[in-house]
Amino acid sequence: MASNMRGLTQFIADIRGARVRELEEKRINKEMANIRKKFKDGNLDGYQKKKYVAKIIFTYILGYKVDVGHMEAVNLISSPKYSEKQILLMHENSDFLRLVVNSIRKDLDGNNEVDNCLALHAIANVGGSEMAEALVEDVHRLLISPTSQSFVKKKAALTLLRLYRKHPDVFPAAEWALRIVSIMDDTDLGVVICVTSLVMALAQDHLAPYAVCYNKAVDRLHRLVIEHEYLATYAYYKVPSPWLQVKLLRLLQYYPPSDDPNIRTVLHEVLQTIMNNSAEPSRNVQHNNAQHAVLFEAIGLAIHLDSSSPLVGTAAILLARFISSKETNVRYLGLDTMAHLAARADSLEPIKKQQNIIILSLRDKDISVRRRALDLLYSMCDVDNSELIVGELLRYLRVADYALREEMVLKIAILTEKYANSYKWYVDTILQLISAAGDHVGDEVWYRVVQIVTNTEDLQEYAAKVVFQHLKAPSTHESLVKVAGYILGEYGHLIANEPGYSPIEQFRVLHGKSQFCVASTRSLLLSTYIKWVNVFPEIKPQLLNIFERYRHVLDSELQQRACEFYALASRPEEDELLQNVCEEMPPFPPRVSALLGRLNQKHGDTGDKRTWVHGGKEANLDREVTKKKTVLVETNGGSAPAASDGGDILGSLAGLDLSGSIQSPTAKAGGGLFTENGAPPVAVGPNVDRWFDKLTWNAEGILYEDVQIQIGVKSRYQGHIGQLAIYLGNKVPSPLTSFTTSLHISDPEALSVTFAKIPPSTIAPRTQTQQLLHVECKKMFTTPPVLSISFLAGSHQTLSIRLPIVITKFFEHVKLGSTDFFERWKLIGGPPREAQLVFPVELTSAGQLDLVKHRQVVGGHRLNILEDIDPNPSNIVAAAVLHTSAEGKVGCLLRLEPNREAKLCRITVRSTSEDVAAEVLKLLQKPLKD
């Protein structure tokens, strides 16, 4: 910019040439006066405005206040020239920002891609909450527009990401979920990378609405890693788009492992291929870096999916090699990923084999590697190796970096308490920790020591002896004095009769440390002394002397305590008030350790939330339970409490019945996109219902059709297993892109429906594609599964339809004679295992019963029509057996008795399961009525 403007170049040169600040200010004031005069006179062309505004911007960058040029900058934004439009002199809180919203919106809506990008840059960099609220929909429209160029889509996606991070409240994340996720199928991998970054941020806070991204991520990984479907420009040192692979692998870790066997198979193949590609290192450093970035994220996903799988076993071998690497980055990532494995694995044996190498990493030259080694040792600690690891950490604590010490103290204290094989070892270790760590010991550590000693009677005498010995050291940290003051005050009398622990010796040692302590610690010691007045009358004169001296100090807290204690100690010996006041402290109520809460505060939140925490499998299981409870609280309309208090997150809700008003998390998160039971709202209409009802008693036919798409079904069933072929036809002369299919099953424990393979993402013009579904009936169900389809055809289309999978599809014929039928009919008996209904029926044009249709409906529902059972030829008698994998077989008998004169029909169903009888009656009556 400066090379094209001589005046600006000269102004910058003058400023840089100023030898003192006074000369610089003089030159700037002169220039600002000239600019004010020029703006006041007017008649400036675009070039002159741009030059003067550029000088103002340079002045603002130097740190000087600017009170001129804002309106000229606003006018420049409306200029048709790129060189003038690109100058924007504003910040997020500027009042002038409101004036440019319409100009920016005009540039967003225009057909000039350069103007679009300039507007997006302005929104991302200076857009405050008002601008975000006004323009977020325009940015979203630019992202999803089929006419937008790829580089505009990339900038729009990143602008939305910036807006969401700065102002999440103005972003309707759930409402836009399907449309944003559909762009993950874009042919341009650059667009896919940017949109995946946006989806990662949104999915962390809105898991349910963005769940459809799971299949898209798996499909894209399969196409990149297995099918090598990418342009050469996106291969970085022969690694296909490593940035996209890393993002997709991380995105999959936000969701629980899929139950779909096809998805699991594809993911296993992708992860196996990634690990095989990284088995042997290359001589090219850049290739290794890209390969390792993908590999470590792939290992993280493998651990997330199944920590006991063979893939994780292979990963453990690779990690053992990486933590011994000469490269710092590889060691860092190896230790971090191994900590993930330790946090999830059922067995720590593969990690324990590398224990010596991990301990040596504590002395690595790089502090980030040392921090990861500390995290790994913390996660891999258990009952067997706790003494060794805690001992090593204590030894390293004395020479550790100051940046690590506070975190180390917390972790040593947690491990010591969690894996203590004896209380004596716990006390010895914690007191060593307090002595060694000094100022880095937080109050939570010594509070916890006091709590445990108070609650453990067998430990009190030993704790008093050990803390007294530590107190004799020449230099003692104040935290240790606090612990000693409390323990000796409560339990010093237990050791007073032993040599070297007499009351006067305890008093001299403890009081000798008080002169180096702050007022709060001295207050605690005064409480210790009043307790000694009660149990050690032989040193009462010395203690009264202390109280007398502290009655005249300036600190109000110390003075008040000393006065009160002096008055209490001066009462007659027969007075019981002192004994009552100085009674031994009762045990503390059971409570959660505050150390974990403090450690979580230390870690804090990051932009990309971890899918696991340090601390072994138990800590991660507790975290999953907490997350589920938090989701329940949020869906009930409240905000979840912070997890950093260290207490029970839902403790304040104990005893409340939350079941009555809690909605499904999916329904809540969907923002109106889901019904109350969590299923998407299904398509309705006379034809849709008619097609569905017909397919409940036919094996094939049309399920849905409109001007764009036709969906047909062909099915076959045997026992409790079935196959459903869905034919998807594109009726328009343009392709259906970003084609996504998903299934919603209201009761997965009763019915299993899975895709045989990952569906294609594009359907060519006027062609048909087939998707095969595997169906299994586990037990009785009443709600058919819902198939959701979304695709791009000019605009984004979404469709949800019921699949004709009903309980009668799993019936098999039974042959019964007349005697057997009526015996079983009577054996089953009447209600509740009988369902009966009388309903009107339509006669044919000839005034006769449509007996052919009746037989077709009953037979279509896979009931075997038994001949020669009922003497009335118009009546139908049928029998079948329902097959389920979990509950076995269920018998079902039916009698259909139409009456031509009354134009009525009675249907009676009896079954060994009352639910089956009611459901079969409901399925049969509708087609028989029509």
Distance, in Å, from the CA atom of 220 to the CA atom of 241, rounded to the nearest integer, reads 11
Give DSSP secondary structure letters for 674-716.
S-TTSPPPPP-SHHHHHHHHHHTS-SEEEEEE-SSEEEEEEEE
With H, G, I as helix, E, B as strand and everything else as coil, classify residue 24. helix
- Alpha-carbon torsion (295, 301, 307, 310), positive or negative: negative
630-639 long-range CB contacts below 8 Å, 24 or more apart?
631/665, 632/658, 632/662, 632/665, 633/658, 634/668, 635/662, 635/663, 635/664, 635/665, 635/668, 635/669, 636/661, 636/662, 636/663, 637/661
166, amino acid identity? K
Residue 483 to residues 224, 391, 418, 463, Cα–Cα distance (Å): 60, 22, 20, 10
Q: Which residues contact 323 (CB under 8 A, 6 or more apart)?
A: 331, 334, 335, 338, 354, 357, 358, 361
How far is 436 from 448, CA to CA, in rounded Å?
A: 17
Cis peptide bond prior to 873, omega within 30° of 0: no
Strands 834-840 and 888-899 turn out to be: unpaired
Question: At 134, which helix (H) or strand (E)?
Answer: helix 129-144
Q: Is 81 annotated as a binding residue?
A: no
Whether 230 and 241 have beta carbons less than 8 Å apart is answered as: yes
Annotated binding residue 561: no
> At 883, which amino acid appears?
H
Apex 493 CA angle, 501 and 544, nearest 5? 90
- 3 state DSSP class of 930: coil
To the question of whether residue 53 is assigned a binding role by annotation, the answer is yes
Closest CA to 218 of 740, 578, 625: 740
Residues contacting 608, CB < 8 A, separation 6+:
200, 204, 250
Tokens of residue 453, six digits? 């000693």
> How far is Cα 44 from Cα 488, in angstroms, rounded to an integer?
85
Give the alpha-carbon dihedral of 667, 672, 674, 675, to 10 degrees: 90
Q: Could you tell me if 483 and 470 are in contact, meaning their C-beta atoms sit under 8 angstroms apart?
A: no
User: What token pair was written down for 641?
Assistant: 């409490």
Annotation-wise, does 672 bind a ligand?
no
What's the CA gap between 762 and 793, in Å, rounded?
Answer: 11
- CA torsion sign for 487, 489, 491, 496 is positive
Asked if 165 and 723 touch (Cβ cutoff 8 Å), the reply is no
Exposure class string for 435-474: b at 16+ Cβ within 10 A, else e: bbbeebbbebbbbbbbbbbbeeeebbebbbbbbbebbeee
**Residue 38 assigned as binding residue:** yes
Q: Could you give the CA distance from residue 8 to residue 14 in angstroms, rounded to a whole number?
A: 10
Query: Residue 201 and residue 164: Cα distance in Å, rounded?
Result: 8
Non-local (6+) Cβ contacts of 460 within 8 A are 453, 454, 487, 490, 491, 494
Q: Give the annotated binding-site residues.
A: 6-7, 38, 47, 51-55
